[in-house]
């Protein structure tokens, strides 16, 4: 894992927006299966980090989209997390906030969607690296069976990450946390 030039893109709490599902029609059933799998992955991460749900895509630090990521360097993928750093408000030092767009393909079995979401959300929540063990959620190459829960190694790496210095302006406040969603 490698930090950004400004520090590790991590937070104590995250605002997450999930693309709404179809309200009716033939896509409703498949959208609901996708949503259930993503919610299960979020629940696993919620054991380690505070997750606030945002009604507004623009105010969320993590946006989860129901779509297959575009080809990258000629390679197809079922999921991708893309990080951008945004200066949230002027000051000395400026507050640099991580913004992550997570694309998760709906064209998979529900357990594969959950495993993909678990992995890509790991990136979104700051783990911008991969494990060399296929049984870990953060494996570079997944094993034969989808990983549906964080392993002890995934958790230990996440805890190590949270001991590292973060982006300017993103450390917990004296009140004991970071602000919720706006």
The domain that holds 142 is classified in CATH as: 3.40.390.10
- Whole-prediction pTM: 0.89
Question: For the chain, what is the domain count?
Answer: 1
Task: State pLDDT tens for residues 72-88.
Answer: 776 668 899 999 998 86
Q: Is residue 85 part of a domain?
A: yes
pLDDT above 90 for 174? no
Checking if the pLDDT of 169 tops 80, the result is no
Q: Which residues of 120-130 are buried (b: 16+ CB within 10 A; e: fewer)?
A: bbbbbbbbbee
Omega within 30 of 0 (cis) for the link into 125: no
**Residue 140 within a domain:** yes
Question: What's the domain range around 43?
Answer: 13-161
Please state, in angstroms and rounded to a whole number, the distance separating the CA atoms of residues 131 and 102. 19
**What phi, psi does 15 have (nearest 5°)?**
-95, 125
Non-local CB neighbours of 163 within 8 Å, separated by 6+ positions: none
Answer yes or no: is 180 within a domain.
no
- Answer yes or no: is 120 within a domain: yes
Share above pLDDT 70 across residues of the chain, in percent, rounded to a whole number: 88
Q: Give percent of the chain with pLDDT exceeding 90.
A: 60
In a domain, 169, yes or no: no
Ramachandran angles phi, psi of 33, nearest 5° = -65, -40
Residue 131 lies in a domain: yes
Q: What are phi and psi of 87, to 5 degrees?
A: -80, 115
Contact indicator for 100, 131 with CB cutoff of 8 Å: no
The verdict on residue 123 lying in a domain is yes
Report the DSSP pairing between strands 50-53 and 13-18: parallel
Query: Cβ(103)–Cβ(80) under 8 Å?
Result: yes
pLDDT per residue over 13-47, tens digit each?
Answer: 999 999 998 878 888 889 999 999 999 999 999 99
pLDDT in tens, 59-68: 999 999 999 8
- The answer to whether residue 138 is domain-embedded is yes
Distance (Å, rounded) from C-alpha 60 to C-alpha 84?
13
């Amino acid at each position: 894992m490698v930090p950004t030039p400004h520090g590790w893109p991590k937070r104590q709490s995250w605002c997450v927006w999930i693309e709404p599902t179809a309200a009716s029609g033939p896509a409703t059933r498949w959208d609901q299966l996708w949503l259930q799998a993503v919610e299960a992955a979020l629940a696993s991460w919620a054991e380690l980090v505070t997750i606030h749900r945002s009604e507004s895509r623009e105010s969320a630090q993590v946006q989860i989209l129901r779509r297959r990521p575009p080809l990258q360097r000629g390679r197809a993928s079922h999921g991708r997390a893309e990080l951008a750093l945004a200066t949230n408000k002027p000051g000395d030092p400026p507050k640099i906030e991580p913004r992550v767009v997570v694309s998760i393909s709906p064209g998979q079995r529900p357990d594969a969607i959950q495993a993909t979401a678990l992995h890509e959300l790991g990136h979104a929540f700051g783990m911008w690296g991969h494990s060399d063990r296929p049984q870990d959620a953060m494996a570079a190459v997944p094993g034969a069976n989808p990983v549906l829960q964080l392993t002890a190694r995934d958790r230990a790496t996440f805890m190590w990450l949270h001991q590292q210095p973060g982006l300017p302006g993103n450390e917990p406040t004296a009140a004991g946390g970071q602000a919720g969603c706006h």
